[in-house]
Amino acid sequence: MDTELQHYRGRFAPSPTGPLHFGSLVAALGSCLDARRQGGQWLVRMEDVDTPRLVPGAADAILNTLEAFGFEWDGPVLYQSRRLEAYAEALEKLRDAGMAYGCACSRKEIADLATSVAVDGGQVYPGFCREGLAPGRQVRAWRLRVAEEPIAFDDRVQGRVVQHLARDVGDFVLRRADGLFAYQLAVTVDDEFQSISHVVRGADLLASTPRQIWLQRCLGFATPAHAHLPVAANGAGEKLSKQTLARPLATDRAVAELLQALHFLGQAPPAELASAGLAEVWAWAQANWSFAAIPRQALIVIPPT
């Protein structure tokens, strides 16, 4: 992070692929309370670039749920679907600098020829198209050349994280074969655009952070401070998500859900708050937020509700 004192700007960046569930509430609450506690701003960004995964109406439903839970964000919501020009510009800059290159490989070709497994369970791209395309091959996707040296950062919750991009990830996709911009590029361009100084999000994104730091370096952007919160998992150890059929948040039980999220984050709200109103719960949470109390784990199993 920049050593100069900078004004705190945090964000919550949901993907409108379904309703908010307990796991998203933890990320929203943790990022919001950390920002408010430090006198900072807290923004909401709708990460709606991955159009095939979007669920109609989910973006509005997410905002309505946040409102019903008493969240207040600063400024208008930024929609990534309206930022395509900025992503195209960043890609062009990387291409012009020789850092990004066109790749002709199909998924099948990579699956057949790749030899190592990447951090996210996919395959490390073996760099076939790095030195140019063989005659007759067409560009499908755009990839970023990664650093040979390890990328390290100090996460405020998870501690020191070191990742060797070339070995653990490989040159990664910035623009997909279907023409859509990849999450890694969009999130990096927007964190810079919105002057985000602190990223607070779920530990499921921890393995993505070195890619984002590398992109920030390639684009000449500042790197924000990072805090990766524990992720809520079901009894089978699976992260709560739409895929694992996590229950949507119940707006008529907002106080109970918020208190559960506070407990999950290691906070100790008094039992009397169970019968209090939303405003009282927020007042307590803001006055008593203890970052140090957040469990330093990547995954916490919660009982079904």
Distance (Å, rounded) from C-alpha 147 to C-alpha 140? 22
Pick the closer one to ligand GLU by CB: 144 or 187: 187
**CB of 81 within 8 A of CB of 59?**
no
**Pattern 205-244, ligand GLU, x by CB under 6 A:** x---------------------------------------
Helix (H) or strand (E) holding 152: strand 151-155
Pick the closer one to ligand GLU by CB: 122 or 127: 122
Q: Please report how close the Cβ of residue 18 comes to ligand GLU at its closest, in angstroms.
A: 10
Please state the φ and ψ torsions of residue 44, each to the nearest 5 degrees.
-120, 130
Q: Please report how close the Cβ of residue 252 comes to ligand GLU at its closest, in angstroms.
A: 24
Residue 183, exposed/middle/buried by CB under 10 A (0-12, 13-18, 19+)? buried
Residue ranges of alpha helices (H) inside 69-123 are 84-96, 107-113
Q: Please report how close the Cβ of residue 60 comes to ligand GLU at its closest, in angstroms.
A: 16
| Size of the residue set binding ligand GLU (CB under 6 A) | 7
**CB of 146 within 8 A of CB of 165?**
yes
Of 138, 150, 142, 139, nearest in space to 125 by CA: 142
Strand partners, 227: 200
Q: Please report how close the Cβ of residue 175 comes to ligand GLU at its closest, in angstroms.
A: 18
Q: Token digits for 235?
A: 């009894």
Q: Judged by CB under 6 A, which of 10, 14, 18, 19 binds ligand GLU?
A: 14
Q: Judged by CB under 6 A, which of 10, 44, 47, 203 binds ligand GLU?
A: 47
Does 201 interact with ligand GLU (rule: CB under 6 A)? yes
Q: Judged by CB under 6 A, which of 15, 65, 184, 260 binds ligand GLU?
A: 15
CB-CB neighbours of 89 under 10 Å:
11
Q: Judged by CB under 6 A, which of 185, 187, 254, 294 binds ligand GLU?
A: 187
Q: Please report how close the Cβ of residue 201 comes to ligand GLU at its closest, in angstroms.
A: 4
Considering only 8-16, 32-40, 53-61, 216-224, which stretch makes contact with ligand GLU by CB under 6 A?
8-16
Distance (Å, rounded) from C-alpha 123 to C-alpha 115? 8
Which residues of this protein are in contact with ligand GLU, per CB under 6 A? 13-15, 47, 187, 201, 205
